[in-house]
Structure 1
Amino acid sequence: MVHSDSKQLIQSYIIQSQEDEIKRISLELHEGVGQNLYSILTGLQLVETGLNQPHLINYLREMTQLIEKTIQEIRLLSVELHPPALTTLGLLPAIKSYIKLYTSTFGVLVDLESIGEEKQLSEQNRVAVFRVCQEALTNIAKHADTSNVKMSLIWKENELKIMIVDFGGGFAADGIEINPFSLGIAAMKERMLLTGGHCVISSKIGEGTSVEISLPL
């Protein structure tokens, strides 16, 4: 039988390994594939200036637009995988960066407020809280059937509290079957437990869902 402390260390190691891999893929998308596409784009634009045949100019413009669109999609994917701000600037700027992407992708508006003075978190805790918020927002976009979300970060002396409230259809918490949605909820709770924090999810049919995250500072 695995001791609970050993089990927690193993779970923490697995999550950290996953995050390291996500960060690597994010950097490769942005600095590798994205940069290569940008070089191709500038090359095509240079060729376009030297062409005189209208049908070739139109073709090049179509290719240029496609590459520009692909570069934008890669940038958005890179931010979604691992916002650079999460490492360099902290949790709040990373959440703001993600919300911009989230709204442009799903059309769900997030009313974000931060109360109190932002505190520095360890990278492990920043990642854990960010992933839980990301999972909560993704669940709202996919399941809540709403276009408005209220998100509050409350910084206290010894605790960070985050409330995420949607105004959607809600769900019967006791009736969730084993599926990616319920597994996502379990992962949210597990991540916070590994940081010494908690994640409490409340929902009622017709009244929406609230996610409350707490983390000792």
Structure 2
Amino acid sequence: MKIAELFTDTKIVVRIQERLPSLFHLAELESSRGGNVGMEVGSIREKIVIALLIYKFGEHNVETDIPTTQPDVDVKVFNEPISVKTITGKSLNGVKLIWTVDEKKASEFSQSYAPSSDMLLVQVNWNNSGWFYLFPKSVQVEIFNQVGSQTYIKLPKPGTNPRGVEIAGEALRLLANHPKSLKIPINWLRETIDYNPYERWLELWQKD
């Protein structure tokens, strides 16, 4: 499993610990309006993690043009599918398996779902500690079979609008504590960043 090298290469581990908080802070600044962080921050975070994979493994070994029909795959490394997830908070909750507001679609998805790729999960916990996890597919399948789909999957409550089907908190904690899961501790401190959301676009307008 080549992706595990992210967690065993000492230089990469240090770079992740040093760079990830500032890059994710920049992602929040880029997706903020009126002091509120928009939902698009998730897509920017995903690109940051994928850029890390390109940095580590080389552009020719990382496939980013993944069809949207594969909800559990965001990128492929050496042709191995990887799912990239990020959450914010001190507890492991809210990891979406699929984004949908359709109750029937959510139910159908839960009945057919089974883990199909390795998962990278970043737990952002500002001004505190969090983690960068790797949940191998084999570990996900083991936990999924151990607890059953009804415990592993959290469906949206009828009449609410949570926008998706999630991995249940209990299942996430089992994944995080599994001896074959890998993790890197992250100290989530925000540094002061002089950021102008229009500067890049202004430079392109001014370019001859």
Higher helix share goes to which structure?
1
Whose strand fraction is larger, Structure 1's or Structure 2's?
Answer: 2
Larger radius of gyration: 1
Bigger relative contact order (CA 8 A; separation at least 6): 2
